[in-house]
Chains A and B, each alone.
Chain A
Amino acid sequence: MAGDDHAEFRRSQADFDALFRAHYAEIVRYLAVRLGSRDDAADVAAEVFVAAWRGVPRLRYRGRPVLAWLYRVAANMASDRLRERMRQPLPVEVVTGPPVADTAESLADRDALGRALSRLPADQQLAVHLRLVEGYSFAEVGRLMGRSAGACQMLVLRAGRQLREALEQEGIRVSG
């Protein structure tokens, strides 16, 4: 198993185009939530992969996939972008979703959800993104985040509670 992972790591190092095509979209989706803007997300994702172009071939295998490195670089660049925005308010758009064709009430909920999601702590955002948006198992989420699966489950639980609280503060009741 470890041998397979190592081989996969080597393949990712050797074939930049395949790495890009496999993971660019998910990095953009992650950054869109972090930055609240799809445009900014695409800009930063491009920087992440420019860094990957230079850096990935030189990575040492430490038991984690190249994707974990991509997410770490994306997270760091997103933090830099947020700090930069605080100094000089370059603005943003929110997370994006499918075209709006719902009832106005549920759309109002989507608006509130988008806001609440963008306000989660960074590690909770990443855990929710990996498990619920991208569909990785908690074991994979743990490998990508460098934490135990249990710790990632806890992050998702806390994220769920914070999202509910945020919605309830806006007068939106969530039932199961």
Chain B
Amino acid sequence: MSRADEREAARRLAAVLDGAEPGDAELAATVRVLRDAAAVARFDLSETEVEHALERARPAGVAPPLSRARLRVAGALVAAAAVLAAAILLVLPFTSGPVDVDVQARALAALGSRGQVLGVSEVVRPGPGAGFPVSKRTGWIDPAGDRQRWTQTVGGTVVAETLVDHGRVTRYDPASGTAVVAASCAALASGCAESEDPIAFYREALAAAGPLRTHARTEGGRRVYRVTLPVERLADSTRILQVATLDATTFLPLRIEWRQLEAGGHARTFATIAVGSILRVDAGELTPGVLDLKLPPGTATTQLTAPGQPVQLLGVRRVALAEARALEPRPWWLGPRFRGSRAGDVAVVRYTGGTAVRIRYGRTTVWTYGRVVPPPLLGARVPLKTIPMNGGVARFYAARSGRLLIGERSIRGGTVAVTTPGNDTAFAALTVVRPL
């Protein structure tokens, strides 16, 4: 396209943004994406927020600096004040500005002493613009007894009941009547972030962090500290971090943000955990049974292969669809075609510890597996996005490679998972996935 054509295209775009008809589909699509992007970036600040910010930006009761015209008149006074200020700075060189303090020990102590159990409630929100519903978690964390028991709900529906007992994970999905049991969170495809409560995860990161020097700031009229705790570095150099905002008086977390920092410096929050309450209760005073999880009779339970040694690929055998249909348990698929791609490359993949069935549709792959999680499905150490779907629960997480998104659902006898390059494809695939 010549420069003149480009200028003409830009002029027409401007006209459409001013209300003219687009005329062609190409221009209409460009305008639409711009308007959608603007909608994502648009948000309002409350009057209170603006006034708080104004108080911070303008020292109360202090007159604004002099204008250019008056500046010369006040020059001598300013110079004298500068000399005085310099003298003060020489005498008291380290008393101005915010003072950094180490908050690690106090933040850790705020989460209870040995022998105490934490009763927690949290609201997990997706990062702005990140989609997926808000979920609530309530539960108990017993650091000394190495147990956690929590319940996660989305819109009033329980999507997960989880018990972590000395590392052993039991996750019950009441909607589908299925449960997964793993000897360690490492056996779960999405890893430990899925099984651990965010406050327990924060507590562990805090304990491992060492000194955390930071200074108090005011946020919404409250004095807070903000600390950053590393979580993981993905294969593509993306870093996962927790950013916790602590009350400067109690040192308890008010908010924990899970953030992804890409190699180029771009960053985004994919989940924010607003801490509702943290109760500290002596273990002896706890109601018996609150740290237990009893599975209802008839629950279809999948025992994941215990980790300890890496899962190794033993072989791949291509099979016809008719042969795959006869396998037990029967694999799941997306139908003969999905988004323009035909079901192809149907294979039984054998690993140490179990087998999986893989069906490819272009860049989308469907896996059905039981005891062993295929290594391509192992997730980054980031929180899941959990949503009720088709009478069950779908979980979405990023692959450890950082490139793919994985969506999975528990099914009788195992799990069906879809790997895709984008969010909407994963969602669409899990909506239509069904037994072969």
| CB <8 Å contact, A100 and B32 | no
| CB <8 Å contact, B228 and A160 | no
* Segment from B7-15, B203-211, B278-286 that makes contact with A: B7-15
Q: Closest approach, in angstroms, between the C-beta of B279 and any C-beta of chain A? A: 27
A131 within 8 A of B: yes
Known: A86-B265, A176-B31. A25 touches B132 (CB 8 A): no
Closest residue of chain B to A167 (Cβ to Cβ) is B33
| CB <8 Å contact, A89 and B239 | yes
Known: A24-B50, A110-B129, A171-B420. A100 touches B134 (CB 8 A): yes
* Segment from B22-30, B82-90, B142-150 that makes contact with A: B22-30
| CB <8 Å contact, B243 and A153 | no
User: A residues within 8 A CB of B37?
Assistant: 113, 116-117, 128, 132, 163
B38 within 8 A of A: yes
* Segment from B64-72, B95-103, B191-199 that makes contact with A: B64-72
A107 within 8 A of B: yes
Known: A16-B58, A104-B132, A109-B424. A156 touches B13 (CB 8 A): yes
Q: Closest approach, in angstroms, between the C-beta of B230 and any C-beta of chain A? A: 8
Within 8 A of A (CB), among B269-307: 269, 272
* Segment from B40-48, B108-116, B175-183 that makes contact with A: B40-48
User: A residues within 8 A CB of B7?
Assistant: 150, 154
Q: Closest approach, in angstroms, between the C-beta of A22 and any C-beta of chain B? A: 10
A93 within 8 A of B: yes
* One of B10, B41, B127 near A150 (C-beta < 8 A): B10
A170 within 8 A of B: yes
* One of A116, A129, A171, A176 near B425 (C-beta < 8 A): A171
A97 to B352 alpha-carbon distance, docked (Å): 46
Known: A17-B58, A128-B34. A37 touches B421 (CB 8 A): no
User: A residues within 8 A CB of B257?
Assistant: 91, 93
| CB <8 Å contact, B67 and A132 | no
| CB <8 Å contact, B13 and A114 | no
Q: Closest approach, in angstroms, between the C-beta of B141 and any C-beta of chain A? A: 25
B423 within 8 A of A: yes
User: B residues within 8 A CB of A137?
Assistant: 18
| CB <8 Å contact, B11 and A150 | yes
| CB <8 Å contact, B387 and A104 | yes
A54 within 8 A of B: yes
A60 to B69 alpha-carbon distance, docked (Å): 11
| CB <8 Å contact, A29 and B41 | yes
User: A residues within 8 A CB of B432?
Assistant: none
A3 within 8 A of B: no
| CB <8 Å contact, B424 and A105 | yes
Within 8 A of B (CB), among A79-96: 82-83, 85-86, 89-96
B335 within 8 A of A: no
User: B residues within 8 A CB of A164?
Assistant: 29-30, 33
| CB <8 Å contact, B45 and A25 | yes
A36 to B243 alpha-carbon distance, docked (Å): 14
A122 to B194 alpha-carbon distance, docked (Å): 36
Q: Closest approach, in angstroms, between the C-beta of B70 and any C-beta of chain A? A: 9
Q: Closest approach, in angstroms, between the C-beta of B258 and any C-beta of chain A? A: 9
* One of B18, B41, B67, B427 near A97 (C-beta < 8 A): B41
| CB <8 Å contact, A36 and B266 | yes
A108 within 8 A of B: yes
A29 to B44 alpha-carbon distance, docked (Å): 8
Within 8 A of A (CB), among B368-426: 387, 420-426
A45 within 8 A of B: yes
User: A residues within 8 A CB of B325?
Assistant: none
| CB <8 Å contact, A94 and B126 | no
User: A residues within 8 A CB of B423?
Assistant: 108-109, 111-112, 170
A21 within 8 A of B: yes
User: B residues within 8 A CB of A35?
Assistant: 267
B128 within 8 A of A: yes
* One of A33, A58, A102, A106 near B65 (C-beta < 8 A): A58
User: A residues within 8 A CB of B67?
Assistant: 13-14, 57-58
| CB <8 Å contact, B13 and A153 | yes
A32 within 8 A of B: yes
B76 within 8 A of A: no
| CB <8 Å contact, B268 and A105 | no
A159 within 8 A of B: yes
Most buried by B among A149, A153, A159, A164: A153
B320 within 8 A of A: no
A37 to B260 alpha-carbon distance, docked (Å): 11
User: A residues within 8 A CB of B30?
Assistant: 157, 160-161, 164
| CB <8 Å contact, A176 and B28 | yes
User: B residues within 8 A CB of A167?
Assistant: 33
User: A residues within 8 A CB of B27?
Assistant: 176
| CB <8 Å contact, A113 and B57 | no
Closest residue of chain B to A13 (Cβ to Cβ) is B67
B259 within 8 A of A: yes
The 10 closest A-B pairs by CB, nearest first: A176-B28, A107-B131, A108-B423, A92-B267, A132-B38, A93-B269, A114-B129, A94-B268, A96-B128, A170-B422
> Could you tell me which B residues sit within 8 Å of A by CB distance?
6-7, 9-11, 13-14, 17-18, 22, 25-45, 50, 53-54, 56-58, 64-68, 71, 126-134, 226, 228, 239, 241, 243, 257, 259, 261, 264-269, 272, 339, 363, 387, 420-428
Given pairs A118-B268, A154-B7, 11 additional interface contacts (CB within 8 A)? A25-B44, A29-B42, A29-B43, A58-B65, A83-B265, A110-B131, A114-B40, A119-B264, A156-B13, A161-B30, A171-B422
